[in-house]
């Protein structure tokens, strides 16, 4: 299922991205239950590795945070599509720079 959707997205967008943007295209294919395609999984691993090296946090914590966050965001999106949005219209997401991916409390000295 994921491969067919990845292939469909590549057929639709890959040529335009290569010609116009002079870049590469990686389709990020998810299911509503949090599953993902092979290319998406490879992308997330690469992203987690880069974040881990930049922030100094362990790779396993970073990839777990990314996967957990994506799954909850997918779940929220599915609920919104079924029930409608019931929150404040001006809610803002936290800045990426301020996120600490190690979710355990830090010791204060």
Q: pLDDT (tens digit, 9 = 90+) per residue, 61-87?
A: 999 999 999 888 888 888 888 887 777
List of the chain residues with pLDDT < 70:
89-109
102 vs 31: CA distance, rounded Å: 26
The predicted pLDDT at position 90 comes to 60
The predicted pLDDT at position 49 comes to 96
Element (H, E) at 108: none
Q: What pTM was estimated for this model as a whole?
A: 0.67
Instruction: Please answer whether residues 35 and 24 qualify as being in contact, where contact means their C-beta atoms are separated by less than 8 angstroms.
Output: no
């Amino acid at each position: 299922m994921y491969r067919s959707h990845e292939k469909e997205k590549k057929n639709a967008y890959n040529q335009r991205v290569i010609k116009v943007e002079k870049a590469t295209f990686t389709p990020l294919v998810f299911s509503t239950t949090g599953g993902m395609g092979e290319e998406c999984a490879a992308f997330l691993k690469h992203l987690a590795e880069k974040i881990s090296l930049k922030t100094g946090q362990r790779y396993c914590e970073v990839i777990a945070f990314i996967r957990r966050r994506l799954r909850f965001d997918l779940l929220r999106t599915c609920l919104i599509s079924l029930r409608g949005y019931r929150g404040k219209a001006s809610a803002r997401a936290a800045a990426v720079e301020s996120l600490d991916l190690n979710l355990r409390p830090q010791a204060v000295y």
